Structure formats: structure tokens, C-alpha cells
Amino acid sequence: SQTIHQWPATLVQPVGSPLSLECTVEGTSNPNLYWYRQAAGRGLQLLFYSVGIGQISSEVPQNLSASRPQDRQFILSSKKLLLSDSGFYLCAWSRLPPIAGPSYEQYFGPGTRLTVT
Amino acid sequence: AQTVTQSQPEMSVQEAETVTLSCTYDTSESDYYLFWYKQPPSRQMILVIRQEAYKQQNATENRFSVNFQKAAKSFSLKISDSQLGDAAMYFCAYAYSGAGSYQLTFGKGTKLSVIP
């Protein structure tokens, strides 16, 4: 079965410090990978998605960047955090086209709660 | 662009009763998928149920069922025999397989409270 891991679970960082959040998926290959942010009391905002190693698409201009150094590893980074970067960050994966599965749902990790002080 | 609207920010239901959460969406596509996700206090998103647009039959998963009205672009979730563990945020989501990315578009969510 497939599992998705995220770490750290909780992070408190000062403004201006760097950030690195990691997400790994087990039990599948060539997944699509996604980073979402959820602000308090709000829905999910897609930040980045990746359809393969080194292939990153950004949905919104921001202070963050993403990388996919390995097939099942997705990293969210920032060189200098802003107060507005606080939130709950969720990583997700999905299968490739229908030949690999019948549906397009995404499976989410447990999330990272980031507080920028 | 596709949009998903959940018009009920909060709802409550008595334990063992039935509740329906509403969702409407806007798309010009004919082939797509719709989902309901549950986000309990732990905040991990859990898939509750999916519906393929090409299927006329409404999906069901145990106590959860949907009412899919394609022409009206409506996708409501019915929870029967509500349990305390059903208390959570519920998000409706839409997926179209454009651009090879299979992105999900989420609604803003409905917070469901279950009253003992």
C-alpha cells in the first residue's frame, strides 16, 4: 500500500530564516506530487505540482520554491520566510493517467504546521 | 477556470440523524471527477467519496452518498446515521485531467458539528 510522509510536523521559524519541508511517498512510482497551503479557516491553495523529477509548476507567485530531486521526494523551500508564510502545508500525490488507475483523487500527507514569528 | 462553491460555511446535525452538505461547481468540460474530502481536527485530508462525471449512478460509501446532478452542476454529500466522529471540515473538490497534472480545485469547506 502507498503511504505519504511529511516532516517536520510542526515548525516555528523567525522571519527571514530559511525553510525546508520534505515530503516522501512510498509504495508507488512516478506519482504526481503537490504542495498545498491552508491558512487558518480557509480552503486549500495549490502552490506547486510536479509530474516528474525536476519538473515543477508554480500556481501562485510567492516567496516559496519547490524541488523534486527524486521520483518520490518533494521539497518545499524558502530562502527568507515572511509572516504571511505561516499556515498548514499539505503534500499530496496522485496516480498518472487512467492506465495506472481509474481515478484522479489525491492522497494527502499529515501536514506541517508552520508558524513564522 | 473551474470553480467550486460550498455555500454552507457551517452546519450541525444531531447524532444518528442525516445531514446533506451542498456543493456546486462551474466547468465547461464534460469529463471530470468530483470528490468529497474530510478534514478532522488532526487536519489530515481524507478522501470520503468520488464520483466520475460519466457515471449517472450516484456513488455511495457506507453511510456516505452523493446526489450528482450533472446538468445543474451540483454535487451534494449526504451523511446518514451521523456519528460523533463525522465532525470535521468537509471539502468538495473537482478534477479535470487537463495539462497532465490532474489538479484539484477545492471549495472553501463546510464545518460540520455533530451534537450528541
Q: Where are the domains of chain A?
A: 3-116
Q: For residue B43, give the CATH number of its domain.
A: 2.60.40.10
- B90 at interface of A, judged by CB pairs closer than 8 A: no
pLDDT single digits (tens) A7-20 = 999 999 999 999 99
Predicted confidence at residue B37, as pLDDT, reads 96
- B35 at interface of A, judged by CB pairs closer than 8 A: yes
Cα dist from B17 to A103, B8, B74, B76, whole Å = 31, 18, 23, 17
Output the CATH code of domain A3-116: 2.60.40.10
Q: Which residue has the higher pLDDT, B101 or B65?
A: B65
Predicted confidence at residue B35, as pLDDT, reads 94
Compute the residue count for chain B: 116
- B41 at interface of A, judged by CB pairs closer than 8 A: no
B22 band by pLDDT with thresholds 50, 70 and 90: very high
pLDDT single digits (tens) A28-74 = 888 889 999 998 767 888 899 898 898 898 877 678 999 999 999 99
DSSP one-letter code for B60: E
Predicted confidence at residue B58, as pLDDT, reads 93
Cβ neighbours of A102 (radius 10 Å): 11
Q: Which residues of A touch B (CB under 8 A)?
A: 32, 34, 38, 42-44, 46, 49, 51, 57, 88, 90, 92, 94, 97, 103-111, 113
Which of B27, B91, B97, B103 should we substitute to test contact with A (largest number of A Cβ atoms within 10 Å)? B103
Number of domains in chain B: 1
Search chain B and give the residue with CA nearest A57: B101
Predicted confidence at residue A101, as pLDDT, reads 47
Which of B44, B45, B48 should we substitute to test contact with A (largest number of A Cβ atoms within 10 Å)? B45
Of all residues in chain B, the percent with pLDDT exceeding 90 is 73
Chain A hits for B91, CB-CB cut-off 8 Å, are 43-44
Cα dist from B2 to A40, B26, B29, B45, B98, whole Å = 23, 5, 9, 21, 11
pLDDT single digits (tens) A72-115 = 999 999 999 999 999 999 999 988 655 444 457 889 999 999 99
Search chain B and give the residue with CA nearest A36: B104
Predicted confidence at residue A61, as pLDDT, reads 67
User: What residues make up the domain containing B43?
Assistant: 3-115
Kindly report the nearest CA distance between residue A108 and chain B, in angstroms: 6
B30 band by pLDDT with thresholds 50, 70 and 90: confident
Average per-residue pLDDT for chain B: 91
Determine, for residues B44 and A49 on separate chains, whether the beta-carbon distance falls below 8 Å: no
Predicted confidence at residue A98, as pLDDT, reads 52
pLDDT single digits (tens) B36-93 = 999 998 888 999 999 988 888 999 999 999 999 999 999 999 999 999 999 999 999 9
For B8-34, give one letter per residue: b (16+ CB within 10 A) or e: eeebebeeeeebebbbbbebeeeebbb
Of all residues in chain B, the percent with pLDDT exceeding 70 is 94
Q: Which residue has the higher pLDDT, A100 or B13?
A: B13
- Read off the pLDDT of each residue in B12-23 and give the average, rounded to a whole number: 98
Q: Within 13 Å and on the Cβ side, how many CA atoms surround A50?
A: 26
Search chain A and give the residue with CA nearest B41: A110
Kindly report the nearest CA distance between residue B106 and chain A, in angstroms: 6
